């Protein structure tokens, strides 16, 4: 039986003979990777300047930067610090660059960490309306089964402004996130630094 001939569209044909676009993509990913290295140093300074956090074992594990090409078919770069993951427990602050979409920063808590910090988080959102920087609101993950999704569609994240603060402790895991469009690249460093500060404030500077 003959097989159908594999054909390229006009756009695909144009790209397959042009190496420049893939080389540009690789250069951009390398720049994001280097940028995350700088951001990581900023995060570590913020932690080190706070005595209640500097000696916390959660922050003792070295940060990790990784990258790939296939989150929903698109390239990504990820920085985790802290990065504590086990079968039952999780404590991570994840910075995530997603090609064609956004940069995001996420606090992920599960198990004993979620239980420990739930009161501080509830208080933060109750007293401060959870949004000291109105341009970049908080989102709450409402995906009941998969904590490893990073998109901001409604089946994964909803604005924290419409999420009851008292319900944080009832979630199977807790993920709070902010995002910034990639066309605001010049504001990216400030956004990540200030959001990381907000997360440390949100946690109430408590230690286990």
pLDDT in tens, 54-66: 788 899 899 999 9
The mean per-residue pLDDT over the stretch 70-82 comes to 97
User: Does some domain include residue 184?
Assistant: yes
pLDDT in tens, 82-132: 999 998 999 999 999 999 999 999 999 999 999 998 888 888 888 765 455
Q: Is 148 helix (H, G, I), strand (E, B) or coil?
A: coil
| Extended strands (E) in 49-192 | 64-71, 74-85, 90-98, 102-110, 139-141, 157-159, 174-181
**CA dihedral sign, ordered 12, 18, 21, 26:** positive
Q: Where are the alpha helices (DSSP H) in the chain?
A: 10-16, 20-48, 51-54, 112-128, 188-202
Task: Provide the residue range defining the domain that includes 167.
Answer: 10-202
User: Does some domain include residue 138?
Assistant: yes
User: Does some domain include residue 1?
Assistant: no
User: Does some domain include residue 94?
Assistant: yes
Q: Is 77 helix (H, G, I), strand (E, B) or coil?
A: strand
Which tokens is 30 given? 């390398």
Which tokens is 29 given? 């990913």
User: How many Cα atoms are found within 13 Å in the side-chain-facing hemisphere of 137?
Assistant: 11
User: Does some domain include residue 178?
Assistant: yes
pLDDT in tens, 169-192: 789 999 999 999 999 999 999 999
Instruction: Decide which of 104 and 2 is more confident.
Output: 104
User: Does some domain include residue 103?
Assistant: yes
Burial class (CB in 10 A: 0-12, 13-18, 19+), 71: middle
The mean per-residue pLDDT over the stretch 180-205 comes to 91
- The total number of structural domains that make up the chain: 1
Strands 174-181 and 157-159: unpaired
User: Does some domain include residue 207?
Assistant: no
pTM, full prediction: 0.91
User: Does some domain include residue 2?
Assistant: no
State residue 130's pLDDT score.
47
State residue 208's pLDDT score.
39
Residues 93, 81 contacting (CB under 8 angstroms)? yes
């Amino acid at each position: 039986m003959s097989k159908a001939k594999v054909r390229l569209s006009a756009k695909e044909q144009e790209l397959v003979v042009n190496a420049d676009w893939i080389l540009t993509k690789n250069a951009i990913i390398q720049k994001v990777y280097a940028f995350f290295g700088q951001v990581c140093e900023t995060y570590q300074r913020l932690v080190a300047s706070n005595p209640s956090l500097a000696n916390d074992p959660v922050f003792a594990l070295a940060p990790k930067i990784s990258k790939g090409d296939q989150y929903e078919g698109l390239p990504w770069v990820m920085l985790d610090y802290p990065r504590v993951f086990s079968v039952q427990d999780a404590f991570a602050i994840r910075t995530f660059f997603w090609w064609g979409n956004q940069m995001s920063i996420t606090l992920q808590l599960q198990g004993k960490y979620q239980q420990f910090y739930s009161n501080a988080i509830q208080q933060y959102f109750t007293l401060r309306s959870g949004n000291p920087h109105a341009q970049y609101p908080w989102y709450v993950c409402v995906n009941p089964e998969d904590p490893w999704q990073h998109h901001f569609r409604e089946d994964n994240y909803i604005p924290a402004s419409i999420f009851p603060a008292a319900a944080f402790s009832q979630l199977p895991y807790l993920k709070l996130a902010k995002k910034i469009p990639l066309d605001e690249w010049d504001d990216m460093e400030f956004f990540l630094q200030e959001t990381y500060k907000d997360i440390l404030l949100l946690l109430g500077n408590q230690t286990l």
